[in-house]
Chains A and B, each alone.
Chain A
Amino acid sequence: MRSAHRTRATALAVVTFLLTWGLLSTGSAFAAVAPDATGVGPLATTSAEYKFPATLDPEVVADLPVELWARVYRPEDLSGGPFPLVIFLHGNHATCGFGSNPRIDDRVDYTFTGTCPSGYVVTPSHAGYGYLADRLASWGYIVVSINANRGINAAPVTIPEDRGRNQARGRLILRHLQRLSEWNRLGGTPPSLGVDLKGKLDFSHVGLMGHSRGGEGVRAAYNFYRDAGSPWPARIGSTTFEGIFEIGPVDGQTNRQFIADGTLWNVLLPMCDGDVSNLQGVRVFDRMLGKPDAPASQKSTYTVWGANHNFYNTEWQISDSPGCFRHTPLWTLDQIGSADQQQTGLASVMAFFRGNVGPDADERFNQNFNPQYDLPDVVTTVTRVDQGFTDSPNPAVTKIFEDFDKPTGTNTYGFPNNASNITIDHTTVPEHTGPDAYGRQSVQRAGNMSWRAPGEDVFFQTNWSAAGTGQDITGFQTLDLRISRQPSGLNPPDSTNFSIRLAMDDGTLSRPVQLAKYTDLTGPVGGPYNVHSILQAARIELADFAGADLSRVRGVRFTFDDTASDAIFLANVRLSTLTGSGASLGSAGPPSARRAAAPAAAAGITSIVEGNTITSLRTVGAAEVTTLPNVEIEVTSTRAFPVQNELAVLRIGAREFAASRYPVSGDTHTLIFTLPGEEFAQATSGESVSVQYGRGESNLRWGFGALDKRLLSS
Chain B
Amino acid sequence: MSGCLLALALLAACQSSIDSGPSPSAAPVSQNGNVIRSLRSVPAAPALGGRPGVEIELFRTQGFPVRGEIPVLRVGGREFLLSRYPQSGDTRSLIFTLGVDEFAQLKTGDEVTVQYGREGSGPRWNFGRLDKARLDR
Contacts and interface: CB of A to CB of B under 8 A. Distances in A.
Given A112-B89, A333-B15, A528-B24, A157 B119 contact: no
Contact of B27 (A105, A319, A325, A529): A529
B12 A108 contact: no
A96 B27 CA distance: 28
A325 B24 contact: yes
B68 A94 contact: no
A107 B89 contact: yes
- The list of the 8 closest CB pairs from A to B, nearest first, reads A109-B89, A156-B84, A158-B47, A212-B68, A325-B24, A94-B66, A154-B66, A322-B14
- Contact residues on B (Cβ < 8 Å of other chain), bracket: 35 or more
Contacts, number: 161
A639 B134 CA distance: 74
B86 to A, nearest CB: 9
B118 A531 contact: no
Contacts of A116: 89
Chain B contact residues: helix, strand, loop or mixed: loop
B1 A93 contact: no
16 contacts: A105-B66, A116-B89, A154-B91, A157-B47, A158-B82, A158-B97, A275-B116, A275-B122, A320-B67, A323-B14, A327-B17, A437-B70, A439-B118, A487-B23, A528-B122, A531-B24
Interface string A321-339: 1111111110011000000
A468 B57 CA distance: 68
Contact of A108 (B69, B89, B118): B89
Interface in A136-189: 153-158, 160, 163-164
Contact of B68 (A117, A275, A324, A332): A275
A660 B46 CA distance: 42
A527 B122 CA distance: 10
Given A92-B66, A112-B89, A327-B17, 8 more contacts: A99-B1, A106-B91, A112-B87, A153-B66, A157-B83, A323-B17, A325-B19, A329-B15
A670 interface: no
B90 interface: yes
Contacts of B122: 274-275, 277, 528-529
A319 B49 CA distance: 37
B45 to A, nearest CB: 9
Interface of B: 1, 3-5, 8, 11-12, 14-19, 22-25, 27, 46-47, 49, 63, 65-71, 81-85, 87-91, 97, 116-119, 121-123
Given A63-B46, A320-B67, A530 B85 contact: no
B35 to A, nearest CB: 18
Given A109-B89, A435-B119, A322 B11 contact: yes
A98 B1 CA distance: 9
A250 interface: yes
Contacts of B69: 250, 275-277
Contacts of A321: 15
A243 to B, nearest CB: 22
B1 A106 contact: yes
Contact of B18 (A96, A326, A439): A326
Nearest to A273: B68
A318 interface: yes
A309 interface: yes
Contacts of A322: 11, 14-16
Contacts of B82: 156-158, 163
Q: Is the interface of A mostly helix, strand, loop or mixed?
A: loop
B121 A487 contact: no
Interface string A77-99: 00000000000000111111011
Nearest to B45: A158
A388 interface: no
A116 B49 CA distance: 29
Nearest to A318: B8
Contacts of A95: 66
- A interface, how many residues as a size bin? 35 or more
A157 B91 contact: no
A266 interface: no
Nearest to B89: A109
Contacts of B123: 529
Interface of A: 63, 91-96, 98-99, 104-113, 116-117, 153-158, 160, 163-164, 212-213, 248-250, 253, 274-278, 309, 318-329, 332-333, 434-437, 439, 487, 489, 526-531
A321 B63 CA distance: 16
A527 B83 contact: no
B62 to A, nearest CB: 10
Contacts of B49: 160
Nearest to A530: B121
A156 B66 CA distance: 11
Contact of B11 (A319, A437, A489): A319
B68 A250 contact: yes
B20 to A, nearest CB: 9
B89 A157 contact: no
Contacts of B87: 112
A157 B67 contact: no
B13 to A, nearest CB: 9
A325 B121 CA distance: 14
B67 A158 contact: no
Contacts of B85: 108, 111, 154, 156
Contacts of A158: 46-47, 82-84, 97
Given A278-B117, A326-B19, A531-B24, A253 B4 contact: no
Identify the interface centre among B15, B17, B87, B89: most chain A CB within 10 Å of its CB: B89
Contacts of A434: 118-119
A614 to B, nearest CB: 47
Interface centre among B22, B47, B71, B122 (most CB of A within 10 A): B122
Contacts of B118: 434-437, 439
Q: Most B CB atoms within 10 A — which of A105, A155, A437?
A: A437
Nearest to A105: B66
Contacts of B1: 98-99, 104, 106
A529 B47 CA distance: 31
Contact of B84 (A96, A157, A332): A157
Given A112-B89, A333-B11, A278 B83 contact: no
B70 A109 contact: no
Given A277-B122, A530-B121, A531-B23, A163 B90 contact: no
Contacts of A112: 87, 89
A252 to B, nearest CB: 9
